Amino acid sequence: MPMTIAEKILAAHSGRDDVKPGELVEADLDFVFANDITGPMAIRVFNKAGGKMVFDPQRVALIPDHFVPNKDIPSAIQAKEIREFARQQKLPHYFEVGRMGIEHVLLPEQGLVLPGDVIIGADSHTCTYGALGAFSTGVGSTDLGAAMVTGTTWFRVPESMRFIFSGKLNRWVSGKDLILYTIGRIGVDGARYRAMEFCGPVIEGMQMSDRFTICNMAIEAGAKVGIIAPDAITESYVKNRARRPYRFFSSDPDARYEATYDWDITQMEPQVACPHSPANVHKVSELKDIAIDQAVIGSCTNGRIEDLRVAAKILRGRKVSSTTRCIILPGSPDVYRQALAEGLLQIFIDAEAAVSTPTCGPCLGGYMGVLAAGERAVSTTNRNFIGRMGHVKSEVYLASPAVAAASAVAGRIAHPDEVL
């Protein structure tokens, strides 16, 4: 039976020749993880479910990235819970401050999540690793705690939707713009419960960082997974990182899709999602005179070295507007180190931006840039729900690193060409 890549990976992990959308399968898991917010609850579940040792310490990670370095005493208590569990379970993949990065930047970089894997993480943006050609999805703490015991979980096989991108990308148009455009077209529940498969010549020509950005935001369309067939670009990314064998799957030519979208993106300009929905998407040129108080560049969506390079291209020799704060958060220690080596941090500091240690921080209104009532931010993150970055009366505009950096300089939402 012809299958999509998502169906093939699920079949291979549940000991079946084939699977069909709608079926329930019990799948072996290649990797499971939680963070400092979801971890403590998952550990409680693990204990309650009678867990003694995790199913395989090599396949479990705990990453305190959301409110760590500890932002307050309750956060310190939560981080301590997962640290102690990691020690007690002798987990090799616990990432302490200084070695810690945002989970979805860190795990692929460390070669811990790989093509062909089935992965669950207690974080909704676990769908990011679909960029590697993995079936990877977010779950809650209970599912994660149970999976730490058994190494398996159940899935309903999702229907697949296909998004084909062709044409030529304009300068300053990136993976972020493609996914914002997609969510703007289909809505925040346009792919609810589905696998979103991204393909076509534009995707095939894209570097891994853009592919991660695209799959990262599949959840913003309600999807269970975002997925891209692995190819030579994937291979060159994983081959020197992988800590275990991996496998490439791809969709059969006659696989069945619930819907296919075929978009020529040649005319596309940078996209911005306006408050308070990732689907409220406009072209940057349509947004006139929207003054911003803060620009945030980072997160699991756009905190990779390629993102910082784009921001540096715009900020080099310029200054952040006197009416704006610009906060830059490298996604991992490796990204930080690389940015240092390439002189990007110098450019940011000379531009009078603030550079942070890797953390989720302001993305979810945690710390390091919480907004007051009436304040407005442009951000490379993935959600602009009411109150997401602070006060319920604050606003977040989602954009690419290029648009965020240009806006930081202009003090209002701006196209990169306006400041260069």
Partner 1 sequence: MTIRGKIWKFGNDVDTDVIIPARYLNTSDVKELASHCMEDADPEFARKIARGDIIAAGSNFGCGSSREHAPIAIKEAGISLVIAESFARIFYRNAFNIGLPILELPQAGGAIAQGDDVEVDIETGSITDHTTGLQYQANPIPPFMRELLTAGGLVPYVASRAARTTRR
The DSSP secondary-structure symbol of 218 reads: G
**3-state DSSP of 248-266:** CCCCCCCCCCCEEEEEECC
Separation of first and last alpha carbons in the chain = 53
For ligand SF4, the binding residue among 381, 384, 394, 407 (CB under 6 A) is 381
Q: Which of ligand SF4, partner 1, none does residue 373 bind (CB under 5 to 8 Å by kind)?
A: none
Instruction: Give residues 182-241 in contact with ligand SF4 (rule: CB under 6 A).
Output: none
Q: Which of ligand SF4, partner 1, none does residue 412 bind (CB under 5 to 8 Å by kind)?
A: none
> How many CB atoms are located within 10 Å of the residue 169 CB?
18
Helices 208-216/305-315 angle, 10° precision: 100
Instruction: Give residues 20-49 in contact with partner 1 (rule: CB under 8 A).
Output: 24, 28, 37-38, 40-41, 44-45, 48-49
**Stretch binding ligand SF4 (CB under 6 A), from 6-14, 80-88, 102-110, 306-314:** 102-110
User: What's the min distance (Å) between Cβ of 184 and partner 1?
Assistant: 14
Give bridge partners of residue 166 from the DSSP assignment: 264
Q: Is 66 in the site for ligand SF4 (CB under 6 A)?
A: yes
Q: Is 188 in the site for partner 1 (CB under 8 A)?
A: yes
For partner 1, the binding residue among 101, 130, 145, 230 (CB under 8 A) is 145
CA 51 – CA 407 distance, rounded (Å): 50
CA 242 – CA 394 distance, rounded (Å): 42
**Stretch binding ligand SF4 (CB under 6 A), from 54-62, 96-104, 222-230, 262-270:** 96-104
Report in angstroms the alpha-carbon separations of 357 from 154, 272, 316, 333, 407.
37, 26, 21, 8, 22
Residue 184 CA, distance from chain mean position:
18
Is 381 in contact with 273 (CB distance < 8 Å)? no
| Helix, strand and coil percent figures for the chain, each rounded to 5 | 35, 20, 45
Q: Mark 354-373 with x for binding to partner 1 (rule: CB under 8 A) and - for no binding.
A: ----------xxx-------
Nearer to partner 1, 255 or 360 (CB): 360
**Stretch binding ligand SF4 (CB under 6 A), from 39-47, 97-105, 225-233, 267-275:** 97-105
Give bridge partners of residue 131 from the DSSP assignment: none
Both tokens assigned to 61: 């990670």
Q: Mark 220-259 with x for binding to partner 1 (rule: CB under 8 A) and - for no binding.
A: --x-x-----------------------------------
Q: Which residues bind ligand SF4 (CB under 6 A)?
A: 66, 102-104, 123, 125, 299-300, 360, 363-364, 381-382
